[in-house]
Amino acid sequence: MHFESPIKRRHSRQIMVGDVPVGGGAPISVQSMTNTETCDIDATVAQIRAIAEAGADIVRVSIPSMDAAEAFKKIREEVSIPLVADIHFDYKIALKVAEYGVDCLRINPGNIGNKDRVRAVVDCARDKNIPIRIGVNAGSLEKDLQKKYGEPTPDALVESAFRQIQYFDELDFHEYKLSLKASDIFMTVEAYRKIASQIDNPLHLGITEAGGLRSGTVKSSIGLGLLLMDGIGDTLRVSLAADPVQEVKVGWDMLRSLKLRNRGINFIACPSCSRQNFDVIKTMNQLEERLDDITIPMDVAVIGCVVNGPGEAKEADIGLAGGSPNNLIYQDGKPNSKTKNDALVDDLEKMIRKKALLKEQELANIIVKN
């Protein structure tokens, strides 16, 4: 099933994070963040490369100390993907990593300090053409806002953001994006909706501290999904207490499901029941593991019986419909071949890889012609 997303995206200004455009109608970029000890340069570089391999466009690295800033210098030399430095408390760290080729600075209004410190960061960013992310978080609001509102609220998040926005405007600095994150879905969604209608700066989406792989995926999918359906969001990070590679995969799954971006295989698979003519769950697990390296977009249907199997298979690039005594494989909407249960995973993998290669060649020809 191939059709354009009906989502109408919010108009926003565009900034550049390294060579990745954010906002202004650019594809919604997928981010993740390292969870290694930044001073462990080898481990951090290895994780950044794994995150990039999984499909991330941008990677954020925590810089909690000057030692970490010095480590960042060496990390920057080893990887090419755009890097965001995550800065809290000490504005001087931001100034240091700016010297070392950082592509974006993330500062937290709740703890970065007074206006003089913010001005120093902005002046440095302007001088070196580095964008800034204003990262408002419900867990670290300014003390006076905590007192005013009693607890984190959407309005408190928005007010915190506008303090920085107004100061950035006074400094005539406009190369920034914003995030307004909370672990509560309702608070996060309302805060983003409120600010999205008042500014045109790009917005970085996320549900902060969403939880582990399963619960965090669910919370992030609901919260980010609501915002993305509204057309809100220019870049996103799925925050999971899990391997950062999983954050990237979940982020891509969200965008693929909403037809906002496409990468890799979109599997259409039934949950299976007693009608299945082969073990659907086992088959899917094997296919996902074997075909994780394919990045060209394509649809693959794996349906265990003849109730919905032929219909779904006809709509996919490659489809499998369970049958007895043999299962039927479709290609481009037409029956192609039959396969037995003990060979179906191997047969499907061969056909999918062949189809993926053909699609890559077609795409390369289009690029050459243009």
In a domain, residue 276? The reply is yes
The count of domains in the chain is 2
* CATH number of the domain encompassing residue 340: 3.30.413.10
Does residue 273 share a domain with residue 196? no
Does residue 199 share a domain with residue 81? yes
Does residue 287 share a domain with residue 197? no
CB atoms within 10 A of CB 256: 16
Please, what are the averages of pLDDT over each run of 10 residues along the chain (370 residues)?
83 98 98 98 98 98 97 98 95 96 91 89 96 94 94 96 94 96 97 97 95 96 98 98 97 96 95 95 97 95 94 95 94 95 96 95 82
Counted residue by residue, the chain has a size of 370
Give just the sign of the alpha carbon dihedral 340, 341, 343, 346: positive
Does residue 172 share a domain with residue 60? yes
Does residue 331 share a domain with residue 229? no
Domain span including residue 214: 14-258
In a domain, residue 6? The reply is no
Query: Rounded to whole angstroms, how far apart are CA atoms 254 and 240?
Result: 14
Does residue 181 share a domain with residue 109? yes
Of 228, 258, 288, which marks where a domain is finished?
258
* CATH number of the domain encompassing residue 123: 3.20.20.20
Query: Rounded to whole angstroms, how far apart are CA atoms 293 and 154?
Result: 40
Of 224, 258, 292, which marks where a domain is finished?
258
Does residue 172 share a domain with residue 34? yes
Q: What global pTM score does this model have?
A: 0.93
> What pLDDT shows up at residue 2?
57
Of 237, 258, 279, which marks where a domain is finished?
258
In a domain, residue 7? The reply is no
Q: Is 270 annotated as a binding residue?
A: yes
Q: Is 104 annotated as a binding residue?
A: no
> What pLDDT shows up at residue 253?
96
Q: Is 39 annotated as a binding residue?
A: no
Q: Is 312 annotated as a binding residue?
A: yes
